[in-house]
Amino acid sequence: MHESWQANYNDIKGEIERFEQMENGQKTFYFDVHTIENIFDFYTDKFQFEKAEKALQIGIRQHPDATSLQAKHAIILMEKGEDDRAIKLMESLLQLEQSNQEIFLNLGLAYLRNNQQEKAVVFFKKALETAFEDREDVMLDIGIYLNQHEAYKITIDFLASGCREFPNNESLLFELAFAYDKEFIIEKGLETYNRLIDINPFSENAWYNLGILYIKNNDFDNANKCYDYALAINPAHGEALFNKGNSLVNQGQYLEAIDCYIDYISYGYDVLLPYHYIADCLDQLGNWDLALRFYRLTVNTDTGYMPAWLGYLALLINQEYASEASEVSEKALQYHGEISELWYLRARSLLLTGNLNEAEDAFEVCFKEDYDNLRNAYELYQLKKALSPKFKGDKLLNRWLKAYPDSPAVHYLATAYYLLDERNLNKAIGHLRTALIENPEDYEFFVELFPTIEKMVSKSKKLTQLIENYFPYEF
């Protein structure tokens, strides 16, 4: 929001000292316009906007007709969030001075901040037309502003030509590559980062960002090489270490990934995510006791980090550590009682300990919280069936259909009931049609739960036709 120029403190040290004496009420001094501009830029570069505004007030009192100072007043208004006043001021200044690139640049920013991109572009172009020797810096300011406001397509329009005009400007290339990344124009992004690296092969962040693009391109080998280059330049580059670990996980190289996460921790970075990811890697490697140790470390580090509770509980249940699973599930719900998946795992842990009635209650909670979830509905249905010798599936299903008439999960269960228990094809077709309308993606899981239904479908023209209406392949 100010010129891309940093005041040299040694050059204006005397003026700064005189201004601060005047600010403190010790003496009164006269400053010319250029000196006020230097003092203003000095403080804004240090983000000391109150001092910058005070300097400007002195300057405007001494030089009320100086348009350059009024232009800087607009910058202060924008810092205060008073964009409308800033815009009015700058537009009035353009009636007096039509070649001030700073006014055009800041008007463009003000309009950009207020979601008026077309007007912003007009003024950014005028800023470039009037920039002359500052054109390269103004181009960079425009790119930064546009990227900050997620106007990535416009960034590309400006900077693609700007990088041809100033081919050795690393900062311009960074902003352009970033915009390509955000627009998922991967090949152009890769090309731009490689151009930057040709200019400066020791740019650790260029190598790191190039690695991110290779990840998006599912090229994990090249991503790892980029992260290695970034780490060769800066072994403590935390993001490169962490992302390389994640890349190795995607390649199934869990031991190598663990090494990256441990290195990340050794440099003093936050331990929460690496603890969790190490636990996941150890789980994949079958080292379950050590995985559990890291899950415990994770949840003890931050009880509010819900994903670790899910992994921790799933491992305990899969390994049938019934007592700890029951204890941990109860504790997890103290912190995350609104998460239906934790209620599901709570129910599973209670099944391990033989507490079937409590498990039923837990399944009820997760079903009511997510009644479209076929797994939840199936587990509750099967448990109720097991607990009651006089179980009537139609009564339960009718009650659920009344409460949740559009639930695909309930309609899938009703399909199974009318096919397997009642042998009522027409009713089954009606429920299956509704289930497929609401959620066709669950059909494959449905036939996994009820495998005999797949054979029934293949023998029924009506069922086959219904399924083929929703899937482009044959069952």
Span 99-146, pLDDT tens digits: 888 899 999 999 999 999 999 999 999 999 998 889 999 999 999 999
Q: Considering the domain boundaries, does residue 332 fall inside one?
A: yes
**Range from 16-30, 221-235, 357-371 carrying the lowest mean pLDDT:** 16-30
pTM over 0.85: no
Q: Which range is least confidently modeled, 76-90, 180-194, 319-333?
A: 76-90
CATH of the domain at 409: 1.25.40
| pLDDT cut 70: percent of the chain above it | 97
Mean predicted confidence (pLDDT) in 273-292:
98
- Residue 320 belongs to what domain range? 270-370
One domain for residues 404 and 348: no
Question: Which amino acid appears at position 94 of this protein?
Answer: L
Residue 68 lies in a domain: no
**What kind and span of H or E run contains 224?**
helix 220-233
User: What integer best gives the mean pLDDT of the chain?
Assistant: 93
For the chain, how many helices (H) and strands (E)? Answer: 28, 0
Burial of 225 (0-12, 13-18, 19+ CB in 10 A): middle
pLDDT band at 68 (very low <50, low <70, confident <90, very high): confident
Q: What is residue 14's predicted lDDT score, i.e. its pLDDT?
A: 87
Burial of 142 (0-12, 13-18, 19+ CB in 10 A): buried
Alpha carbon of residue 373 to chain centroid: 26
> Is the predicted pLDDT of residue 41 greater than 60, yes or no?
yes
User: Quick check: 472 pLDDT over 80?
Assistant: no
In 234-338, which residue ranges form alpha helices assigned H by DSSP?
Answer: 238-250, 254-266, 272-285, 288-301, 306-318, 322-335
* 167/186 Cα distance (integer angstroms): 20
116 DSSP assignment: -
- What is the structure's pLDDT at 461? 92
Does residue 302 fall inside a structural domain? Answer: yes
- Condensed to tens digits (0 to 9), the pLDDT of residues 203-236 reads 999 999 999 999 999 999 999 999 999 999 999 9
What does the alpha-carbon distance between residue 390 and residue 378 come to, in Å, rounded to a whole number? 18
**Low-confidence winner among 45-59, 256-270, 436-450 (lowest mean pLDDT):** 45-59
* Alpha-helical segments (H) within 30-116: 33-45, 49-62, 67-79, 83-93, 101-113
Residue 449: exposure state from Cβ atoms within 10 A (0-12, 13-18, ≥19)? middle
The sign of the torsion formed by the CA atoms of 432, 436, 439, 441 equals positive
The CATH number of the domain holding residue 304 is 1.25.40.10
Residue 398 covered by a domain: yes
- Does residue 8 surpass a pLDDT of 60? no
Q: Domain check: are 352 and 311 in the same one? A: yes
Domain shared by 429 and 475, yes or no: yes
Residues 278 and 329 in one domain: yes
